[in-house]
Amino acid sequence: MADVKAAETAAPLDLLDERLRRGDGWRSVAGGLWRRVRSGDLGVLPIVLGLVVIWTVFQSLNSVFLSSANLVNLLMESASVGIIALGVVCVLLVGQIDLSVGSVSGLSAALTAVTFVSHGWPLPLSMAAALGAGALIGVVYAQMVTRLGVPSFVATLAGLLSFLGIQLWLLGDTGAINLPFESDLVHFAQLAFLPEWLSYVLVVVAAGWLFATGYGLARTRRAAGLSARSTSLLVARSAAVLLGLGFAVWYLNRARGVGWLFVSFVVLVLLLHYALTRTGWGRSVFAVGGNAEAARRAGINVRRVYTSVFVLCSTLAALGGMIAAARLAAANQATGAGDVNLNAIAAAVIGGTSLFGGRGSAFSALLGILVIQSISNGLTLLDLDSSFRFIITGLVLALAVTLDSVARRSRVAHGRAA
């Protein structure tokens, strides 16, 4: 009896309740994960499994698929739509949608090309102008949605058409403007790769940083009398990241290596992840997505949150369009057209960001675009045309949305947030 008492007074502040399943060992971590999955809080599990399946299938059909050269290519190709998907994640988080990201990216590509090539503006100015146009579009959407009460679905559908029209008009009769190969933008998007040593340094820095922040947090929490992750667990996590990333980078370095473009995309993902999970702005984004009226009553300026999110989304779409043009060394009528729009939205959803708002993460853009790009790349290797790509991407999207809905129902049944 006395032992029990002593154990209880020693327990951390947040684990005092007798109903809590307690433990700080590996088994409790594993058990906690398992309970979460069963209650419908699937996290990144389905998508990682999905990626494994997709990669296995394509590798068995064509052994080039998992070659270093092809994976380097796959990553470089995923950056532009991945960046657009990042913006879509934000809009979905507040429970809205932007159907025009494709057109906005195409418009931005055309704007950059026209000002830079045809009018001879300095490159940074052209890019700033295109990004500014993207931001402006976001402001207009936000005004329509928050002041006039137009559903974002309709406002952005109208934008989809209008901006496609402006893009075509800008490009003129020829319908395409080539970007010079020697420009910094094209060089960055096609030919800039990390030196091998730097890529390994980055891996070590990433793993070290992960450990340092985790350890720092655990120490603060313990000092404050709260429960914290054990150091061995933190070490194991960092070691896994070190080995995993290290192997990936080593494998990519067999071919051209890790592109600066892809690294930039990952940096954007990390920045957005930080903003969403560690800042007051991110908190308000989730709050507005969960219950906009409650957020308003808590004193959050809901209109400003919507505006920030629409602006971010359109600006990222503009950035993605610029990069798509740079990858191609040309802005043409097809930039941002076709499946770019749906791929960006599908990536966010496949990656685990809920269409119902209030649930998701920046990483879903990264994971989702990897799935979509893998399918597209694998089918191209098999010489199958876009009809198959559409069908299979569509099926994967249907699967992801179904999983989202089923998991949502399970979460409701298990008393987690819908």
Partner 1 sequence: MNDPVKEPAAAPGGRPILSLRGISKNFGAVAALTDVDLDVSPGEVVAVVGDNGAGKSTLVKVLAGVHRPDAGTLTFADREVTVASPADAHALGIATVFQDLALCENLNVIQNLFLGRELRRARLDEVTMEIRSWELLRQLSAKIPTVRVPVASLSGGQRQTVAIARTLLGDPRVIVLDEPTAALGVAQTAEVLNLIERLRERGLGVIMISHNMEDVRAVADRVVVLRLGRNNGVFAAEAPSEEIVAAMIGASDNVVSRRAGRARSVKGEA
Task: Name the residue type at position 117.
Answer: V
Among 28, 56, 118, 220, binds partner 1 (CB under 8 A): 220
Query: 209: which 2 tokens?
Result: 């940083």
Closest CA to 90 of 267, 293, 344: 344
Q: Provide the mask over 136-175, with x wherever binding to partner 1 is found by CB under 8 A and - wherever it is not.
A: ----------------------------------------
Please, what is the minimum distance in Å from the beta carbon of residue 195 to partner 1?
Answer: 32
Cα distance between residue 115 and residue 357, in whole Å? 38
Please, what is the minimum distance in Å from the beta carbon of residue 257 to partner 1?
Answer: 33
Among 295, 318, 366, 367, binds partner 1 (CB under 8 A): 295
Cα distance between residue 137 and residue 62, in whole Å? 43
Question: Is 198 an interacting residue with respect to partner 1 (CB under 8 A)?
Answer: no
3-state secondary structure of 176: strand
Place of tokens 């709260």: 226
Question: Is 17 an interacting residue with respect to partner 1 (CB under 8 A)?
Answer: yes
List the beta bridge partners of residue 332: 176
Among 28, 301, 386, 405, binds partner 1 (CB under 8 A): 301
List, in order, residues 6 or more apart from 365 with CB less than 8 Å away: 82, 83, 85, 86, 88, 89, 269, 347, 348, 351, 353
> Considering only 159-167, 188-196, 233-241, 295-303, which stretch makes contact with partner 1 by CB under 8 A?
295-303
Question: Is 284 an interacting residue with respect to partner 1 (CB under 8 A)?
Answer: yes
Cα distance between residue 376 and residue 388, in whole Å? 9
CA angle 151, 156, 158 (to 5 degrees): 100
Closest CA to 329 of 206, 180, 214: 180
Among 2, 4, 5, 19, binds partner 1 (CB under 8 A): 19
Among 281, 382, 395, 409, binds partner 1 (CB under 8 A): 281
> Considering only 101-109, 116-124, 320-328, 408-416, which stretch makes contact with partner 1 by CB under 8 A?
408-416
Binding residues (CB under 8 A) for partner 1: these are 13-15, 17, 19-20, 217, 220-221, 224-226, 278-281, 283-284, 286-287, 289-291, 293-301, 358-359, 411-412, 414-418
